[in-house]
Chain A
Amino acid sequence: MSGLKSQVGPFKFQWKTVPHANEGVAEVEVEPGKTISVAWRKDAQGICLLLPNGSFGFDLQGEPDDEGRMLYHLTQRGTSHEWNSVLPIVGDVKAQGTREGSQNKALRVRAQMPGKILRVMVESGQDIVKDQPILVMEAMKMENEIRAIQSGKVGQIKVAVGQTVETGADLILIQN
């Protein structure tokens, strides 16, 4: 294969040489007829780029979505720029599917920190609206009201009053 395609948002890239290793230089067509040289160095938290218009550093944190695709949180070092849920598609764009596939799945309300469930204010099957309080959790000595992140129907309730939960534990599922 000569080259590799990738796409992020509106940008479509055609890599003339396939990047590999932690450090390197590659030629990439960033728009039809415009090829630039990209030098990079990966580090523990992200990547540094040297481009014709200057040097840039980014911190990247990956989080796989329900379909195993990697979404990135990007922070541009030394600036206030950051981007959430950036989905880089590499290779054949169509084969990767689109983001709409995950829209009908249940949304998980997860514990943001370790704590104890004090109250559950909803029942399974109940219709709820966005921002409606669904449960109260005690963490860091504070009572924290957890609210619905979107409207929908309460699916499974994964916790009980008095239960201690860890960070990231599923609390409640919300169905669209």
Chain B
Amino acid sequence: MKHPVLIANRGEIAIRIAKTCRALGFPTVGVYSEADRFSEHLRYCDRSYFVGAAPPQESYLNVERVLAAAKASGARFVHPGYGFLSERPHFVEACQKEGLIFVGPSAESMRLMGDKIQARSTVDRLKVPRVPGSPGAVQSAAEAKRFASEIGYPILLKAAAGGGGKGMRRVDAEADLASAFEGATREALGAFGDGSMYVEKLILEPHHVEIQVFGDGKGGVIHLGERECSIQRRHQKVWEESPSPILNQYPKTRKAMQDAAVKIAQHVHYAGAGTFEFIVDAFGNFYFLEMNTRLQVEHPVTEWVTGVDLVAWQLLLAEGNWTLPPIPEVQGSAIEVRLYAEDPITFLPAPGALGKIHLPSGAFVRTDSAFTGPGEVSVHYDPMISKISVWAPTRIEAVARLRAALDEACVQPPLKADGTVQGSLRTNLSFLKRLVRNEDVIQGNTTTDLIPKHPELTRPSADPISLEAALAASLTQILRQNQDFTPTETVPERTWTTVTRREGLRR
């Protein structure tokens, strides 16, 4: 009899974790906020507990309420997923105090590696190269200016407590530093409650490559290959793949990075899944960036090429009496893209009501999503709609498979009876379809500045209209003007409206 696992998360990652729990026979406990009463992830959990209002601080980030749910449910394990409480050492300690097993690293190794400034001194001691920068957090623009003139422009200002591009600014010249510092600090304060910054040199033509490791907590660590996540917008990943195209050119760099990652993880007696992020330049030099002490969003890429269920390993390790398997062989090529509710041109978040969703399927196509039909991409949380990943024996075949998969996908906001859009949902699907057709992407020339280098990726399509499309538009307009058609399906309303009505009918 397995002990229950509380999944302290929501959305696609809660579903992904629950699926493995169920496959392994662990009972599952879900948590939900007010905004998630009808969310898909609850249907993957045996029982669910309400943890508070929609804002994360009130619910998914509220340690007391999440732990109360765990205690009430009789859960033995707490899986944090990614984001939310996944990288908070005080949460790990709070779990221990309650007699719960946190599925992840110890609070101590989380502190050592999760804090960027602490991690850098650990990494320096182990002689792993990293990007030149300020040794500690800087508190003022003047201090930042001093370091910047030492290492030379362009530089990057990064929030010490940050992640996901929040509190980050590129500065090309001294004149811009003061205002960039002010903006980044304010953003970091708002997002993480900590405005300290560090300064580092900006590497030009960089590739973002990360090494997946898995440790047994007793000093045993293996790597599971790499993921290249160079293609980013707004400093957030949108395309991730393994193996890395740049490391295919520099196999020695790959080996050195794997050795470095394993060495650091061994040093901190790392337990569970962790990721070391590196910058690799055009010449195969690599620099340590940071460690993520959790399961990554893009972990399916590693699962495709290694055949390992990373969540299963995490759970089995947490349960005890588990031996670290040998290093799995990397086979074939896998690519993941992130389908977001965002404007395909400005990449600004555009959440809202969802009218129709069809995600691709088929041979070697995987989708990780929390949406199956009409619903709502909440403004309160990350606006990711789905991860779409594919595997193929070679990279070129994987790109082709992804192209076909993306063409199959469809996400639309609901329409009112008059055919106009209801709500504000937009998606980056059209951008992803252009991205997968980009020559540099197909060739594997994946640098972090790929998107700004190709303005055609973020330009609305200006294809001449086809005869078929013209007929479709004409017909739709004629039928609309005649007003003699009724919508074939009722327009989805906001969930609460429907529910209240249903409740009213029941009485």
Contact = CB atoms under 8 A, between A and B. Distances in A.
Contacts of A43: 488-489
A113 interface: yes
Given A51-B471, A74-B472, A83 B415 contact: no
A113 B379 contact: yes
B475 A168 contact: no
A110 to B, nearest CB: 10
A157 interface: no
A72 to B, nearest CB: 5
B233 to A, nearest CB: 12
Contacts of B475: 19, 38, 40, 47, 49
A64 B420 contact: yes
Given A83-B461, A112-B343, A167-B352, A6 B489 contact: no
A132 to B, nearest CB: 15
B415 A75 contact: no
Nearest to A48: B472
Contact of B419 (A49, A56, A70): A70
Contact of B476 (A42, A63, A168): A42
B349 A139 contact: yes
Contacts of B53: none
B441 to A, nearest CB: 14
Interface string B337-380: 00000010010111110011000000000000000000000010
A8 B481 contact: no
Contact of A45 (B190, B350, B356, B481): B356
A114 B478 contact: no
Given A45-B356, A45-B415, A168 B485 contact: no
Interface string B221-245: 0000000000000100000000000
A78 interface: yes
B195 interface: no
A81 B466 contact: yes
Interface centre among B356, B379, B460, B473 (most CB of A within 10 A): B473
A2 interface: no
A31 to B, nearest CB: 9
Contacts, number: 192
At the interface, is chain B mostly helix, strand, loop or mixed? mixed
Contact of B420 (A9, A62, A88): A62
B421 A62 contact: yes
Given A44-B355, A44-B415, A70-B480, A138 B190 contact: yes
B478 A112 contact: no
Contacts of A167: 352, 424
Interface centre among B468, B469, B478, B491 (most CB of A within 10 A): B469
A11 B419 contact: no
Interface in B409-452: 410, 412-415, 418-421, 424, 430, 433-434, 437
Contact of B410 (A22, A38, A59, A84): A59
B471 A79 contact: no
A173 to B, nearest CB: 19
Interface string A61-92: 11110000010101111111111101010100
Interface centre among A10, A21, A63, A86 (most CB of B within 10 A): A86
A143 B424 contact: no
B472 A15 contact: no
A28 B470 CA distance: 12
Contacts of A142: 165-166, 187, 191, 234
Given A9-B465, A86-B465, A143-B183, A47 B421 contact: no
Interface in A31-54: 38, 40, 42-47, 49, 51
A22 B474 contact: no
B57 to A, nearest CB: 11
B421 A61 contact: yes
Nearest to B461: A82
A61 B413 contact: yes
B321 to A, nearest CB: 42
Contacts of B481: 90
B383 A140 contact: yes
B498 interface: no
A88 B383 CA distance: 33
Interface centre among B165, B234, B415, B471 (most CB of A within 10 A): B471
A84 B477 contact: no
B477 A70 contact: yes
Contact of B478 (A18, A59, A168): A18
Interface string A138-157: 11111110000000000000
Given A20-B482, A139-B349, A74 B469 contact: yes
A82 B488 contact: no
Interface string B174-191: 000000000100110011
Interface centre among B186, B351, B352, B410 (most CB of A within 10 A): B410
B497 interface: no
A13 B412 contact: no
A8 B474 CA distance: 7
Contact of A61 (B407, B412, B491): B412
Given A4-B478, A44-B489, A11 B461 contact: no
A6 B469 contact: no
A161 interface: no
Given A22-B488, A141-B191, A90 B349 contact: no
A113 B477 CA distance: 29
Given A45-B355, A86-B465, 17 more contacts: A4-B478, A8-B470, A11-B467, A11-B474, A13-B470, A20-B484, A43-B488, A51-B468, A56-B468, A61-B413, A62-B420, A72-B476, A76-B468, A81-B469, A82-B430, A141-B187, A143-B186
6 contacts: A38-B471, A59-B410, A84-B461, A112-B350, A142-B166, A168-B424
* Shortest 6 CB-CB contacts between residues of A and residues of B: A8-B470, A44-B489, A88-B477, A11-B470, A80-B433, A62-B419
Interface of B: 165-166, 183, 186-187, 190-191, 234, 343, 346, 348-352, 355-356, 379, 383, 406-408, 410, 412-415, 418-421, 424, 430, 433-434, 437, 460-461, 463-482, 484-489, 491
